[in-house]
Chain A
């Protein structure tokens, strides 16, 4: 009964490929997020969706395209993967963007670009 689940857990692929990471939450939250944790463990927000609508879009290359088919899912598609995309990507969810309730994180997807 994992609250926020991401697939796959590990992803190893070659430069130039296109890949997707999926995220699902069963908490009934309205808001979902994608964060990137780089090799130095620095954690930074990439995107946020509230009820399927994009509300946060940080300075992220347009090779990254989030998609939210419904409020329980937020997928991340990455085109033309580059070496610098190697990182751990964390999905998170919260009740709504204005809530003071904490965000719940998934286990992370470790992306390695060869």
Chain B
């Protein structure tokens, strides 16, 4: 089975802190994604990556950056956390052969609270 692992299930940080959210997938997928999930708003795409060292902005990239130094790992960085970044963060990956938007495999999420 495809496994997408997010390093933390729950995280509490203070305003202004630099926050790293880590995601690792074990299926050699080319595509990786970071979403945030907020009640009533569904999932919104923050950043995605089609290859190592490659990144593209999604719909809501402001306040975030990403890093993809290795194919299996995709990190989301909050340079200076703010309270409006309190949310559930979901990492996903997909195989380029099935199409980047066809079947996404998701991690179980990191619930981030910024105080």
**Same complex origin of A and B:** no
Q: Which residues of B come within 8 Å of A, CB atoms?
A: none
